[in-house]
A and B are shown apart, each in its own frame.
Chain A
Amino acid sequence: MGKTTLSAALAVTAARSGVRTLVVTIDPARRLATALGLKDLGSEPSPHKDEPNLWAAMLDASASWKAIAHRHAPADVADRLVDNPFFEAATQHFPASQSYASAEEMANYVETRAWDLVVIDTPPSAGGIEFFSAPAEMRDLVGGRLLRWLTGGALPGRRAIFTLTARPALRIAGAALGSDLFERVAEFLMDMRTMYDGLARRAVQMEQHFRQARTVVVTTADPAPLREAARFYRELPEMVPDPDSVVFNRVLPVTWYHPKPPTDGPLVENLARWGAEAHRQTEVRKEFAALWKTEVATVPWRPKTPTTLDDLAALIEAAAGLPLERLGVVPE
């Protein structure tokens, strides 16, 4: 879809128009990472050697979660949590856990006020929409019915104990499986529970950031990415404003389309098939714009992936309909 490339391109454009910009990416292609001056996963924000206003960082969800545990749980519990073999699995597998890590990093970066603009390339799961629901989901998971059932009411900052109904149920379930796996998981979840107050407070703050954020949805004219783009109109939590821009990537020139293309030699026939594709794209964009009552922006299809800062800036220059001022990419 080009979400990572477009995030980088917006950041480069912003930096070049004098906006101090941080771009936080996830899994960029090697050449793009090199162009941004990134080396490894978990790269801390670092200034670009050739572009004074540009900073780049890469998300490492696993490292973020370790920091999150230390931030929200008492020190001894945090150490135990991080060392627990379930911790890695749980923080990778809880629904929205990568998105939560990404949202928490976003809040941390925004709050330092070191940058005028922070561009977040959201994790791909659930088409990026999960990023906005992750804080609430994580709060509900750690403070949710299941954990309340296991441990009873919340004890701020203290580790709870099994409730009277939970222990026999765990025993029976364990017997059915033939192992004590259950009780080990339950012990672990009770440690997680101590993070509830911290997570709940943080979730509120993150949602405040969402309210003030600008959202750009990147899609192509293909059915699967379009379905995911539509979710931003159907499923976005209430506190998040509608997307500020829907960007269609890999757009072909409309001038290539001819309703009755001549068939005269391979080159003209080649234009006819690309013209048909360009026409399909146009129709899809119109339909999307009408259905969701939105303006759409377009980024032309470049046969070669942009790999330098100049390529990235050129991509935004060739784009049409991007509200660069509203996005804060260009100063008003």
Chain B
Amino acid sequence: MESSRSLTGAPAASAAATRASGLARVASAPLLLAAAGACLALGVLLGFLWAPTDASTMGFSQKIFYFHVPVAETALLAFGVAFVASVLYLRTSNAKYDRLGMVSVRLGLLFSVLVMITGMIWGKAAWGVWWAWEPRLTTFLVVCLLYAGYFVLRSSVEEEGRRATFAALFAIIAFVDVPITFLATRLMPAGLHPVVFTSSGAQMDHRDLIAFLVSMLGMSLLFVGLLRVELAVERLRDELYYLKNRLG
């Protein structure tokens, strides 16, 4: 019997093998995800056991900083990747860049929501309120709304090529807007809560810094790992679509 055709040229597999390969695909970034997990765990340990407890009013709740800020920076990294992918798509019209862009934005949005959630928890712990219009939270709220619009835009266009083009355009414009929004929210006068979530006190103790950097690395690795997983999913989806079309 002829071997089946597929976009990736992979041969047909039995049920058990499918299940196994499914998991293998997910862990297809096994090194990355393992490294991410290790880094994050290390970061947590360093942060809690090694770095000194914050002396300012925030106290123990400052520890949230070790996850909150890396998640924020990783979200921005994701949007940056989407920006580059979008530019590349516009120049080459290669669908793989559109896929990369969409997946990056999705992950970036996920991370941004996490920034908001951890930011709100930190706010409650440090200042006693669930929400304050402080610059970083506000910026990320706008960023979330902005990139949510990316998906609304995608779902409004039926034709594939156009959808990819418009999405790429929007990802570019949106990313340009992120630093502008960042600056703009700082123009607003400080409210009742002069909340600027900086690191502890005036200077970051070098132990804080190392724990933070380790967490940062872990979060970035997590992003790349998740990216590869998502890309595999999307590639499969495209293959499915292609096969369905062939079957008519």
> Do A and B come together as binding partners?
no
Binding site for A on B (CB under 8 A): none
